[in-house]
Structure 1
Amino acid sequence: MADLIKIAVDAMGGDNSPKKVIDGIIHNHKKNKGNFFKIFGDKNKIISLLKDEIESQHYEIIHTENLVLSTDSPLEAAKKGKDTSMWLAIESVKNKEADIVISAGNTGALLVIAKLNLKMIQDIDKPALSALWPNKNGMSVVLDLGANIECSSKNLFDFSIMGASLYTSLYPDKKPNIGLLNIGSEELKGNETIKETFKILSNKKSENYDFAGYIEGNQIMDGEINVIISDGFTGNIALKTAEGTANFIVKELKKAMTGSFIGKISSVLNFYNLKKFKNRLDPRLYNGAIFLGLDSPVVKSHGGTDFIGFSNSLDVCNKIVKGNLIEKIKHNI
Structure 2
Amino acid sequence: MADSINIALDVMGGDNGPSVVLEGADIALVRHPDIRYVLYGDKDQVEPLLENFPRVKQASVFHHSEIVIQMDERPSQALRRGRGKSSMWQSIEATKIGEADVCVSAGNTGALMAMSKFCLRTMADIERPAIAAIWPTLRGESVVLDVGANIGADAQQLFDFAMMGGAMARSLFGIDRPTVGLLNIGEEDVKGLDEVKEAGRMLRDFNLPHLNYKGFVEGDDLGTGAVDVVVTEGFSGNIALKTAEGTAKQLGEYLRSAMTRTLMSRIGYLFAKSAFDRLREKMDPRKVNGGVFLGLNGIVIKSHGSTDGEGFAGAIGLAYDMVRNGLTEKIEQDLSVYHKNRIAVDEENA
With normalisation by structure 2, the TM-score equals 0.93
Residue 48 of structure 1: CA displacement? 2.2
Q: What residue number does 1:15 align with?
A: 15
Paired residues in the alignment total 333
Asked if residue 64 in structure 1 is aligned to residue 65 in structure 2, the reply is yes
Counting only pairs closer than 5 Å after superposition, residues 83-122 of structure 1 correspond to structure 2 as 83-122=85-124
**Residue number among 138, 143, 165 corresponding to 1:163 in the alignment:** 165
- CA pair 52-286 structure 1, distance change in 2 beyond 3 A: closer
Residue 260 of structure 1: CA displacement? 1.5
| Runs of 5+ consecutive residues of structure 2 not aligned to the other structure | 336-350
- CA pair 263-153 structure 1, distance change in 2 beyond 3 A: same
Amino acid at match of 1:156: L
Counting only pairs closer than 5 Å after superposition, residues 144-163 of structure 1 correspond to structure 2 as 144-163=146-165
Residue 2 of structure 1: CA displacement? 5.4
Residue 13 of structure 1: CA displacement? 0.7
- Partners in 1 of 2:299 and 2:35 — Cα distance? 16
- Contact persistence 2:29–2:56 (CA under 8 A): no
Residue 196 of structure 1: CA displacement? 0.5
Amino acid at match of 1:235: G
**Residue number among 167, 174, 177 corresponding to 1:175 in the alignment:** 177
- CA pair 271-52 structure 1, distance change in 2 beyond 3 A: closer
Residue 314 of structure 1: CA displacement? 0.4
Residue 46 of structure 1: CA displacement? 2.0
Q: What residue number does 1:126 align with?
A: 128
Q: What residue number does 1:217 align with?
A: 219
Residue 130 of structure 1: CA displacement? 0.5
- Partners in 2 of 1:63 and 1:12 — Cα distance? 11
Residue 55 of structure 1: CA displacement? 5.9
Asked if residue 321 in structure 1 is aligned to residue 329 in structure 2, the reply is no
More helix, by proportion: 2
- Partners in 2 of 1:56 and 1:265 — Cα distance? 47
Q: What residue number does 1:76 align with?
A: 77
**Residue number among 142, 145, 148 corresponding to 1:143 in the alignment:** 145
- Partners in 2 of 1:272 and 1:24 — Cα distance? 26
Deviates more, 1:155-164 or 1:71-80: 71-80
- Partners in 1 of 2:2 and 2:176 — Cα distance? 29
Amino acid at match of 2:198: E
- Partners in 1 of 2:297 and 2:166 — Cα distance? 16
Residue 63 of structure 1: CA displacement? 0.9
Amino acid at match of 1:34: D
- Partners in 1 of 2:313 and 2:24 — Cα distance? 4
- CA pair 316-134 structure 1, distance change in 2 beyond 3 A: same
- Partners in 2 of 1:175 and 1:312 — Cα distance? 25
Q: What residue number does 2:32 align with?
A: 32
- Partners in 1 of 2:284 and 2:165 — Cα distance? 23
Q: What residue number does 2:340 align with?
A: none
Asked if residue 245 in structure 1 is aligned to residue 282 in structure 2, the reply is no
- Partners in 2 of 1:147 and 1:273 — Cα distance? 37
Residue 262 of structure 1: CA displacement? 1.4
Secondary structure at the counterpart of residue 110 of structure 1 = helix
Residue 174 of structure 1: CA displacement? 5.4
- Partners in 1 of 2:80 and 2:111 — Cα distance? 10
Secondary structure at the counterpart of residue 309 of structure 1 = helix
Amino acid at match of 1:17: G
Residue 52 of structure 1: CA displacement? 4.4
- Partners in 2 of 1:206 and 1:84 — Cα distance? 41
Secondary structure at the counterpart of residue 80 of structure 1 = helix
Secondary structure at the counterpart of residue 220 of structure 2 = helix
Residue 175 of structure 1: CA displacement? 3.2
Deviating above 3 A after TM superposition, structure 1's stretches of 4 or more consecutive aligned residues are none
With normalisation by structure 1, the TM-score equals 0.97
- Partners in 2 of 1:150 and 1:295 — Cα distance? 23
